[in-house]
A and B are shown apart, each in its own frame.
Chain A
Amino acid sequence: MHNEVLTRKQPVSSPRRRRITWAPYLFIALPVLYSLALSGLPLLKGFQLSLTSAKLLNPNGGRFVGLQNYQTLLASPQTWASIGVTLLYTLLVVTSSVLLGLAAALLINQYFFGRVVVRAMLTVPWAVPTVAVALVFTWMMNGGSGILNAVTETLGLGRHEWLTDPTWALLSVTVATMWKVTPFVMLVLLAALQAVPIELVEAARVDGANPWTTFRVVTMPAILPSLRVVVLLMTIWSFRRFEIIWLLTGGGPADATNTIVVGVYRTAFSQFNLGVAAALGMLGVVMSLAVTVVYAVVERQGTER
Chain B
Amino acid sequence: MRQRRLFLQSVRGVAALAMAIVAFFPFYWIVNTSMTPADELYSGGQSVWLDLSRAQYAFQILTTESPFLRWLGNSAVVATGTTILSVLLALLAAYALSRFRFAGKGLFSFIFFSSQMLPEALIIVPLYALFVSLQLLNQPAGLVLANTAFSMPVAVWILKAAIDGVPLEIEESARVDGCGPMKTLRYMVLPIIAPSIAAAAVIAFFDSWNEYLFATTFMRTKSLWLASTGLASFQGEYQTPLDVVFSGAFVFSLPAVIFFLIVQKRIVAGLTAGSVKG
Contact = CB atoms under 8 A, between A and B. Distances in A.
B1 interface: no
A145 B41 contact: yes
B179 interface: no
Interface in B93-107: 93, 95-97, 99-102, 105
B185 to A, nearest CB: 8
Interface string A5-44: 1000100111011001101110110111011101111111
Interface stretch (A67-75, A91-99, A166-174, A183-191): A183-191
Interface in B6-28: 9-10, 12-13, 15-17, 19-21, 23-24, 26-27
Interface in B172-198: 181
A112 interface: yes
A145 B269 contact: no
Nearest to B40: A145
B69 interface: no
B118 to A, nearest CB: 5
A129 B118 contact: no
Contacts of A25: 96, 102
B45 to A, nearest CB: 8
B141 interface: no
Contact of B119 (A187, A242, A292): A242
B268 interface: yes
A281 interface: yes
A133 B23 CA distance: 12
Interface string A222-234: 0001100110110
Interface in B214-234: 217, 228, 231-232, 234
Interface residues of A, number: 110
Contacts of A252: none
A232 B122 CA distance: 20
A132 to B, nearest CB: 4
B126 A278 contact: yes
B149 A34 contact: yes
A14 B168 CA distance: 14
Contacts of A138: 235
Contact of B93 (A31, A54, A123): A31
Contacts of B97: 28
A45 B132 CA distance: 13
A144 B42 CA distance: 9
B23 A121 contact: yes
Contact of B101 (A13, A48, A129, A243): A13
Contacts of B41: 145
A111 B253 contact: no
Contacts of B13: 112-114
Interface residues of B, number: 98
Interface string A266-305: 0011000010011001101100110110000000000000
A31 B92 contact: yes
Contacts of A217: none
A133 B26 contact: yes
A292 B115 CA distance: 12
Interface stretch (A76-84, A102-110, A200-208): A102-110
Contacts, number: 308
B228 A23 contact: no
Interface in B237-278: 242, 245-246, 249-250, 252-253, 256-257, 259-261, 264-265, 268-269, 271-272, 275-277
B52 interface: no
A256 interface: no
B57 interface: no
B53 interface: no
A240 to B, nearest CB: 3
A121 B24 contact: yes
A89 interface: no
A112 B12 contact: yes
Given A114-B17, A136-B26, A268-B124, 9 more contacts: A16-B99, A42-B127, A45-B130, A48-B126, A59-B128, A118-B16, A126-B260, A131-B232, A132-B231
Interface of A: 1, 5, 9, 12-14, 16-17, 20-21, 23-25, 27-28, 30-32, 34-36, 38-46, 48-49, 54, 56, 59-60, 104, 107-108, 110-115, 117-118, 120-140, 144-145, 147, 179, 182-184, 187-188, 191, 225-226, 229-230, 232-233, 236-237, 239-243, 246-247, 261-262, 264-265, 268-269, 274, 277-278, 281-282, 284-285, 288-289, 291-292
Interface of B: 9-10, 12-13, 15-17, 19-21, 23-24, 26-27, 29-30, 33, 41-44, 46, 89-90, 92-93, 95-97, 99-102, 105, 108, 111-112, 114-130, 132-133, 145-146, 148-150, 152-153, 156, 168, 181, 206, 209-210, 212-213, 217, 228, 231-232, 234-235, 242, 245-246, 249-250, 252-253, 256-257, 259-261, 264-265, 268-269, 271-272, 275-277
8 contacts: A31-B93, A41-B130, A43-B126, A45-B126, A113-B9, A125-B24, A129-B209, A145-B44
